[in-house]
Structure 1
């Protein structure tokens, strides 16, 4: 992680629920200025053709407080491919469908391996380490295919309700590109099926998985869609209790330990917030009981996380004192 830009960091605020003393627009403006001076770092996910040419002069950041106030900066309204960020939405839906029975089919441990690794699957007999690596997300996709008559529509409806926007959908070009380059995901799904941990047709599971990764949203959409994890499971956008307070805490814990793949420990060290990244360059994060955030910069580091998105969240926790630690 590159060193932080010099500047006074705030002392951790005494009451984590009170952010009235923070000038959030000014803080976001400072971060935006710093990030734009570093444009060009990292590289897009060039193994997916539809993402390979996204320019490295885009940065957006948005946050949504538990009261629903939105603060944004930069390209926060420009849509991008959310990719693995969608795994937060799908695991939430799977937990609603199965409850703790989900953990009989996928574990809750950090992997220590890249997000598309197959290495552990054979040792662990087709039980993925966590629902945020690709293998685990494929099992979660299988769960949703069994739980819903129209699983793709159920997912889109869930995301639209959380974000408060009815025109969110998949990018067909990205979905096609995912399918054409998804050899490792195809192999992973078949490997898991060989252990009996995928119950539906592999092609159907893959189609659902590629659709969820190709959802197109912007930073404001994504920050809103994660607000329920900052509010004890209550979605202020829709007025619905999405999950219990206990379950929202558990989802946040999964994001902290596995949301940024094999960089989760490094991310916890430098940022200190539950987060989930995607190779489209987005990262969502949660300050429990306070706010949800999303950053987007398409240049990735060697672990597949947004290089300057991670930096932006690092600076945010420095300048606000907001962290779970």
Structure 2
């Protein structure tokens, strides 16, 4: 028998109250100067369902840097441009290592494990950039996200982008290592300039949840990519979307999800809803601590899980 769905607004209000009362909020990504000063006491959550009003609570209307959540949207663009040819340059396996690790890239000779670790995302951005300018590529990304969210107000925070360019030394190392193995087609400064601006896209939880509807599928959801591609992107989000914490997130939440070091998480309930949660403090995996806990509560209370209700 299907689990009865509780009223969502009181549930989100309760989850927000629990999150705000938490004493251990994790640690903000202070290695990016523009993120170091973000107030860690903020928490927002939003649920978007096709054809229904977005339900939200807490700081769901406060913009934040989506960081690596942007990799989902760039992957959709790359698959639209290259199709399965993309997989000749990047894999589809979990990494088991941190998001900016050099180790596997060296062992596997410049072939990144998946498109959600930094090396794989740099290759994905490089693939979309090929034959275009950074401005054109970022314009295409913003048009895609705005179309998915139904909101023209979404933009890139230039201060965050400049902050990442100034401090992204490990990403420059990854890019040069990719180049040394022939897996970077554009000059590193062009690809990384595009990549850092991509990560600096700024959105609210409400906007991000609505933008995630293209991955929900089913009646009323935006038709921006094929159903077959939705299935594949969701599969990668489930297995690779939380870096070396992907197994833990799947175990605790049971939904495809993509995190970012800005504290955001986008999760998908296939055929039902897209959920965005934001809390800037990160756990030891580099994923939102309270965001993960909130998603665990939400999945348990709603029965939303690809593995069945608890």
- Aligned pairs, how many? 305
Does 2:284 correspond to 1:302? yes
Structure 2 counterpart of 1:253, from 235, 245, 253: 235
Structure 2 counterpart of 1:267, from 242, 245, 249: 249
CA distance in 2, matches of 1:277, 1:114: 13
Structure 2 counterpart of 1:38, from 22, 30, 33: 22
8 Å contact from structure 2 (residues 6, 301) kept in 1: no
- State how 1:305-324 maps to structure 2 within 5 Å: 305-324=287-306
Aligned to 1:132: 116
8 Å contact from structure 1 (residues 113, 261) kept in 2: yes
- State how 1:1-325 maps to structure 2 within 5 Å: 13=2, 21-146=5-130, 148=132, 150-231=136-217, 236=221, 239=222, 241-325=223-307
CA distance in 2, matches of 1:48, 1:204: 20
Q: Which runs of 5+ in 2 are unaligned?
A: none
Q: CA deviation at 1:68?
A: 3.7
8 Å contact from structure 2 (residues 50, 220) kept in 1: no
8 Å contact from structure 2 (residues 64, 203) kept in 1: yes
CA distance in 2, matches of 1:13, 1:153: 43
Please provide the CA RMSD for this pair. 1.4
CA distance in 2, matches of 1:144, 1:249: 21
Q: CA deviation at 1:160?
A: 1.1
SS for the counterpart of 1:276 is strand
Q: CA deviation at 1:40?
A: 4.7
CA distance in 2, matches of 1:113, 1:268: 16
SS for the counterpart of 1:77 is coil
Given the superposition, is the C-alpha separation of residues 312 and 147 from structure 1 closer, same or farther in structure 2, using an over 3 Å criterion?
farther
- After the TM superposition, which segments of 4 or more aligned residues of structure 1 sit over 6 Å from their partners? none
Given the superposition, is the C-alpha separation of residues 108 and 147 from structure 1 closer, same or farther in structure 2, using an over 3 Å criterion?
farther
**1:194-215 deviations in whole A, cap 9, x for unaligned?**
1111101111000000001111
SS for the counterpart of 1:226 is helix
**1:58-94 deviations in whole A, cap 9, x for unaligned?**
0000010122431000000000000000000000110
Q: CA deviation at 1:53?
A: 1.5
Q: Which runs of 5+ in 1 are unaligned?
A: 1-11
CA distance in 1, matches of 2:72, 2:53: 22
Q: CA deviation at 1:55?
A: 1.2
Aligned to 1:9: none
SS for the counterpart of 1:99 is helix
CA distance in 2, matches of 1:68, 1:208: 34
CA distance in 2, matches of 1:67, 1:110: 34
**1:99-153 deviations in whole A, cap 9, x for unaligned?**
1111010000000000000111122111100000000000001111115451111
SS for the counterpart of 1:184 is helix
